[in-house]
Amino acid sequence: MSKASEEATKQINIRVTETFLEKIDETWQGRGYNSRSEYIRHVLHDAVENPTFDRDELLALAEAEREIREEE
DSSP 15-68: ---HHHHHHHHHHHHHTT-S-HHHHHHHHHHHHHH-TT--HHHHHHHHHHHHHH
17 vs 47, higher pLDDT: 17
| Tens of pLDDT, residues 23-63 | 999 999 989 999 999 999 999 998 888 777 677 888 888 88
DSSP code of residue 53 = -
Between helix 18-30 and helix 36-49 the angle, nearest 10°, is: 90
Q: What is the model's pLDDT at position 1?
A: 47
